[in-house]
Amino acid sequence: GENVEQHPSTLSVQEGDSAVIKCTYSDSASNYFPWYKQELGKRPQLIIDIRSNVGEKKDQRIAVTLNKTAKHFSLHITETQPEDSAVYFCAASREGGKLIFGQGTELSVKP
Amino acid sequence: DGGITQSPKYLFRKEGQNVTLSCEQNLNHDAMYWYRQDPGQGLRLIYYSQIVNDFQKGDIAEGYSVSREKKESFPLTVTSAQKNPTAFYLCASSIYGAGANVLTFGAGSRLTVL
């Protein structure tokens, strides 16, 4: 069945450094790739998403890149801040289909 | 509270008991979902519903049941058949047919089996 693999499971960076989280997916028909951020004790919230007709999307310090040929996509956070500390989930789905989530990455930004 | 409300926030259950988690949304979303969150395993889909009076099993439906009698409500029952029910349960909703399954999550319910 469909599967999304996410790496690394934990990531620790120094404030101001960049962080990169990578995901691979198995369903070649997937065309929607969102990223959710879950702060400690809070609900997951969408931070950025990308569709298959776009290779890269940026929103301030956050960017997502997509390589459909290789079936992988990545989240890039630049100039990390302590408030970026959270668990990040990638996901993939077909048009109108159910989302399949990765296992999550716990990002820790050290001041 | 984001338009989607889950209750209770914390729930304790004795083995052999069924419990029902409530999920209500006022976003006029057609689709609703239940996910289970365990450390290191991401969000796993239990059941989802794209329209009233219809629902489908997700990846880990065994030991769970749902109903969708109203658009606004999608309760989840954790039955005694669920072997390891202690977990954090998240309900979500989305606009069906919008082409992008942007999910709005509730605050979650933490179930502990004593």
- At B95-110, the pLDDT tens digits run 875 556 789 999 999 9
Cβ B58 vs Cβ B48: under 8 Å: yes
* A9-35 mean pLDDT: 96
Q: Which residues of A53-87 are buried (b: 16+ CB within 10 A; e: fewer)?
A: eeeeeeeeebbbbbeeeebbbbbbbeebeeebbbb
Q: What is the pLDDT of residue B98?
A: 52
**Min distance A105 CA to chain B CA atoms (Å):** 8
Strand partners for B66: B76
Average pLDDT value for chain A: 94
Dump pLDDT digits (tens) for B30-80.
999 999 999 878 899 999 998 999 999 999 999 999 999 999 999 999 998
Tokens coding A111: 């001041």
Give CA separation, B6 vs A20, A72, B34, B76, B92, in Å.
Answer: 33, 34, 11, 11, 10
Has residue A88 got a pLDDT over 80?
A: yes
Tokens coding B78: 């954790």
pLDDT band at B9 (very low <50, low <70, confident <90, very high): very high
Dump pLDDT digits (tens) for A37-77.
999 989 999 999 998 888 999 999 999 999 999 999 999 99
H-assigned helices in B8-111 = none
- Based on the number of CB atoms within 10 Å of its own CB, is B107 exposed (0-12), middle (13-18) or buried (19 or more)? middle
Nearest Cα residue in chain B from A105: B40
pLDDT band at B114 (very low <50, low <70, confident <90, very high): confident
Has residue B1 got a pLDDT over 60?
A: no
Has residue A22 got a pLDDT over 90?
A: yes
Q: What is the pLDDT of residue B2?
A: 53
Cβ A79 vs Cβ A14: under 8 Å: no
Q: What is the pLDDT of residue A74?
A: 98
pLDDT band at A1 (very low <50, low <70, confident <90, very high): low
Q: What is the pLDDT of residue B77?
A: 97
Q: What is the pLDDT of residue B107?
A: 94
**A93 touches B: beta carbon within 8 Å:** yes
Question: Length of chain A in residues, anyone?
Answer: 111
Q: What SS3 state is found at B53?
A: coil
Taking an 8 Å Cβ-Cβ cutoff, which residues of chain B contact chain A? Answer: 2, 33, 35, 40-45, 48, 58-59, 90, 96-97, 99-103, 105-108
Q: What is the pLDDT of residue A28?
A: 92
Sequence letter at residue A98: K
> Does A102 contact B58 at a Cβ distance shorter than 8 Å?
no
Tokens coding B15: 């083995």
Dump pLDDT digits (tens) for A89-103.
999 988 767 889 999
Q: When comparing pLDDT for A37 and B84, which is higher?
A: A37
> Does A43 contact B42 at a Cβ distance shorter than 8 Å?
no
